[in-house]
Structure 1
Amino acid sequence: MKNSLYTKLSLTLASIFILTASLFLWWTQSVSQVSRAQAEQALHLGLAEHLANDNPLLKQGVYDYKALENLFHTLMVLGPAFEFYFVDPSGKLLTFSAKPGQVKRQFIDLVPLVTLIEDQSNLPIYGDDPRNFDHKKIFSVAPVYNGDTLQGYLYVIIGSSIYDSIFASIKSSEQILVNSIWLVLGLGFLLISMLVVFRTITKPLRTLSSFIQKVDKTEFDITELPLLDWPKHHNEIHQLGAAVNRMLITINQQMMQLTKLDEQRRELLAHLSHDLRTPLASLQGYLELLNKEAPNANEKAAHYLNVTLKNCGQLKALIDQIFELAHLESGQTNINLEVFNLGELIYDVMAKFALRAEKAGIQLQVHPKECDFSVYSDIAKLERILTNLIENALRHTNQGGTICVNIVLDSNQYKIVVADTGVGISSEDLPYIFEARYRASNSLGCKKSHAGLGLAITNRLIQLIKSDIKVKSELGKGTEFAFTLRASKPV
């Protein structure tokens, strides 16, 4: 199931919100830590220098732990947040206030120490933590001289391990936890509020989308579906909904007008063809009678009479086709489905054209020859379909050509293919061959010998028997018309 627009936008909004909140918390925490470190280092910047100047033992170059033990003890009591180290000019730790075994480094990097001594404007500056290989800490440092000789550096870590553990416990105290909970609840409430507001804003869009889907299912017939009531001049989505309503009303009115005009056209064609049939039949009868009773008429009069009879027959055929097409399009045609033998019907239709095909030098074939297949369809309409297709093939096939009806089993259906080796249909004409009054530009023989409605009638008949016709053609190589019929029982 596809996610809705609201779901996608909500997920995107929530992801961006969580990411932004996480980055903000990380940034504020980092800024807080840097600010705290900067303030503490600036506050205790001169600590090491004062200690070095106020202790004669350090000035004398005494750095033995036992000698300095009382000094370190006193300093630790007064400032438990500090750790004291004495470092020689190469960075080696000579003595320290920590107990033996707690210091893991033997050397520290002197670059941060020298940087702080030379420039105290860019704080905080972090130095190595002798108790940990991975940590850095702020510090205070002072060089220790004996005369002009550099004895080493007094390296004071600001924020001892005791200080870190106490500060960590404070951070995890109940007050911090309560504040964190309130912060999370506040952020959650803000997120939920934003989602509710967003859902309220997008609700009209979802309503419009659902309405358009329902309209599409009814094929834009709004008589079966009431239009939505949109507030006037509320927002852009409501304005869009009102515009959609107006558009649907216009489309529906135009469709009703087109339907009415189409019905009027069909009725007119049916009435005209019906009204023309009676006088035309009377005219044709009198012309045939005149032709029989005037055997002694001169040759010129006989020729004129034959031409008149021929044109009268063509006009009758045209009116019959118009009447048939109008009747098929009226939607009042009955479908009589039954089980019958497909092979027998095909051979009966072939027999109607056998003499005409023989005179034209065209072979008629059926494959397979033994086609004892039972189908479930309307036999009368299928006969008319095959008649039109074979007659169309005869009209477009040269002397010496072949017209073949192939029957192929295809998934409990029989595929009927009427193929010829005629002149074929151009790619420009192919999309229009089932339209009324179509007649290919490469039609053989007299262009007035047919009405041009045969394929339109065939297409409509195939639709009535719940099938679909497909055509393949190539100029100079022939044409194939194919459609399927339901088998009377599973094959």
Structure 2
Amino acid sequence: MLKTLYSRLALTLFLLLCAVGVLFIQLIGHSATMYQQEVVQKLNRELADHIVDEYSLIQGRQINREALDQLFHHLMVINPSIELYLLDEQGLVLGYSAPEGKVKRAQVALEPIRQFMESNAPYPLEGDDPRNLAGQKAFSVAPIFDGEQTQGYLYIILGGEQFDHVMAMLGQSYILDSSLQVFLIALAVALIGGLLVFAVLTRRLRQLGNIMRQYGNGQQQDDATLRYPRRSNDEIDRLGQQFNAMADRISEHVGELKRVDSLRREMVANISHDLRTPLTTLRGYLETLDLKHDQLTEQEQRQYLQTALSHSKRLGIMVEELFELARLDSCESVIYAEPFSMCELVQDVAQKYQLRAQERSISLEASLNPETPPVYGDIAMMQRVLENLLENGLRHTPAGGAVRIRVDVDSGNVVVQVADTGCGIPEEDIPHVFERFYQRDSSHYDADNAGLGLAIVWRILELHGSAIQVHSKPQQGTIFLFRLPL
């Protein structure tokens, strides 16, 4: 029942209104009583003074019984709600206008009497009620003098037992009942209004909760209906916008995971295919050598062995590149980084491939800017980048062509460019050249190429915070370009 925020708010409002109602009724009752006593006490403040001036209640320290009885008789006829008490100077009760056995106090405290006789006394001021050992009531009092000496006090309780009975009857009157009913109706209206307001305020929370529940139940995560619409800029709206941002990130990550999983499946399929082909061929030639060793000529045996070695070499290159790519994928940053000269590194790598280029009748040229400052990175990784780019250029450049490598400085970066005059890359294939196991010409079998060289280049440059660009035109050549900060 109390599992929702709305039900808890409704219960809290109900209990709060009940508490306010009880407190308000008690406060109104207490305030009305105090106000009544204040009015009565102010109106009858000089009542005791007038009576003392009119009647000689104490003469020669003796009670004037005749005057006292006469006074009690007159006041009982005129105003039976008040009670008169004759006190001595210590507050002892000497006489009273009450039946025998009603008076329970033998003495009245004098401190309220002294406060009453001061001109700045606060109202209502309550004194001891002789008929109630624990009660206090509004009163009027006047000192009785014999000459200049106080002989006692005339102490008047302004709201006696009859007054209490009348007030109790008024408490059950129609007016008070009607007022209480009006107050209860007002509380009920306030409760209903509060519930409606809470319903409006929590409606957006319920909407956000429904969106979250539908999103968590696995509905289409990129569905626009599963996003919280922005209406204002309060706390609920900011919470909804945070959910939208979280949902977008989750959807993005889920899409990335799907893409990675698809790439993984494709990579496994490519690895299986690329491993199975040379392994099958290698096994076939070796089995042929084993079964027909006596029937094959020496030249055929040598040819079969060279073919088996070629496929074995291809397997070795593929396994080596796979391990290298796996190692690069496990890295989050470059570990062994140091400043080095890119020109010197390019010159060393170019000399290493010079002989291979000459064997293929390809011109290998290096253009180096001598003013190129050092760069910061892993020199072994950058050497692998240059080697893979040169191997790629030499592999796709026909005899008589050229491969050029250039190092220059541009806008605070060292720019490395590897260009060839080979067959080029069709425009639709350019976005895929850095994918793993990608070979543009699938019909051409190359034992020295496993389709991982450019993927390794991409990953190494990514670890160095750089990216590689490709510019190519079919039958005109290809340019690979990357930048490293000084």
Q: Name the TM-score class by shorter chain.
A: 0.5 to 0.7
Shift of 1:274: 2.1
Which position in structure 2 is the counterpart of 1:206? 206
Instruction: Say yes or no: does 1:44 pair with 2:44.
Output: yes
When residues 227 and 244 of structure 1 are mapped into structure 2, their CA distance, relative to the original with a 3 A threshold, is farther
Which position in structure 1 is the counterpart of 2:231? 233
Q: Is the 8 A contact 1:284 1:312 kept in 2?
A: no
Instruction: Say yes or no: does 1:181 pair with 2:181.
Output: yes
Q: Partners of 2:313 and 2:183 in 1: how far apart?
A: 97
When residues 5 and 197 of structure 1 are mapped into structure 2, their CA distance, relative to the original with a 3 A threshold, is same
When residues 109 and 102 of structure 1 are mapped into structure 2, their CA distance, relative to the original with a 3 A threshold, is same
Q: Partners of 2:121 and 2:2 in 1: how far apart?
A: 59
| SS of residue paired to 2:145 | strand
When residues 68 and 38 of structure 1 are mapped into structure 2, their CA distance, relative to the original with a 3 A threshold, is same
2:7 partner letter: T
Q: Partners of 1:140 and 1:185 in 2: how far apart?
A: 41
Q: Partners of 2:157 and 2:134 in 1: how far apart?
A: 15
Q: Is the 8 A contact 1:41 1:140 kept in 2?
A: yes
When residues 290 and 119 of structure 1 are mapped into structure 2, their CA distance, relative to the original with a 3 A threshold, is farther
Q: Is the 8 A contact 1:59 1:144 kept in 2?
A: no
Which position in structure 2 is the counterpart of 1:146? 146
Which position in structure 2 is the counterpart of 1:266? 265
| SS of residue paired to 2:186 | helix
Shift of 1:268: 3.1
Bigger mean CA offset, 249-258 vs 261-270: 249-258
| SS of residue paired to 1:221 | coil
Shift of 1:234: 5.5
Q: Partners of 2:197 and 2:129 in 1: how far apart?
A: 51
Instruction: Say yes or no: does 1:221 pair with 2:202.
Output: no
| SS of residue paired to 1:84 | strand
Shift of 1:52: 0.8
Q: Is the 8 A contact 1:139 1:157 kept in 2?
A: yes
1:233 partner letter: R
* Higher-Rg member (1/2): 2
Q: Cα RMSD between the aligned structures?
A: 4.0
Which position in structure 1 is the counterpart of 2:12? 12
Shift of 1:199: 1.0
Instruction: Say yes or no: does 1:168 pair with 2:195.
Output: no
Which position in structure 2 is the counterpart of 1:24? 24
Which position in structure 1 is the counterpart of 2:477? none
Q: Partners of 1:235 and 1:191 in 2: how far apart?
A: 28
| SS of residue paired to 1:222 | coil
Shift of 1:7: 1.8
When residues 233 and 214 of structure 1 are mapped into structure 2, their CA distance, relative to the original with a 3 A threshold, is closer
Q: Partners of 1:190 and 1:2 in 2: how far apart?
A: 21
| SS of residue paired to 2:183 | helix
Q: Partners of 1:110 and 1:40 in 2: how far apart?
A: 21
Q: Partners of 1:124 and 1:203 in 2: how far apart?
A: 52
Identity of aligned residues (%): 33
1:255 partner letter: V
Matches within 5 A, 1:309-388: none
Bigger mean CA offset, 248-257 vs 201-210: 248-257
Q: Is the 8 A contact 1:227 1:245 kept in 2?
A: no
Matches within 5 A, 1:83-482: 83-218=83-218, 221-222=220-221, 227=225, 233=231, 236=234, 237=236, 241=240, 244=243, 248=247, 251-252=250-251, 254-286=253-285
2:225 partner letter: L
1:174 partner letter: Y
Q: Partners of 1:313 and 1:288 in 2: how far apart?
A: 19
Q: Is the 8 A contact 1:280 1:316 kept in 2?
A: no
Q: Is the 8 A contact 1:59 1:145 kept in 2?
A: no
Q: Partners of 2:70 and 2:121 in 1: how far apart?
A: 34
| SS of residue paired to 1:56 | coil
Shift of 1:285: 4.9
Q: Partners of 1:261 and 1:170 in 2: how far apart?
A: 85
Q: Partners of 1:260 and 1:91 in 2: how far apart?
A: 101
Which position in structure 1 is the counterpart of 2:453? none
Shift of 1:153: 0.7
When residues 221 and 151 of structure 1 are mapped into structure 2, their CA distance, relative to the original with a 3 A threshold, is same
Q: Is the 8 A contact 2:91 2:107 kept in 1?
A: yes
Q: Partners of 2:14 and 2:316 in 1: how far apart?
A: 76
Shift of 1:75: 1.4
1:277 partner letter: R
Q: Is the 8 A contact 1:137 1:158 kept in 2?
A: yes
Bigger mean CA offset, 157-166 vs 236-245: 236-245
Which position in structure 2 is the counterpart of 1:79? 79
Once the two structures are superposed, what CA deviation does each residue of 1:344-370 show, in whole Å capped at 9, x if it has no partner? Answer: xxxxxxxxxxxxxxxxxxxxxxxxxxx
How many correspondences in the alignment? 311
When residues 65 and 229 of structure 1 are mapped into structure 2, their CA distance, relative to the original with a 3 A threshold, is farther
Q: Partners of 2:178 and 2:74 in 1: how far apart?
A: 38
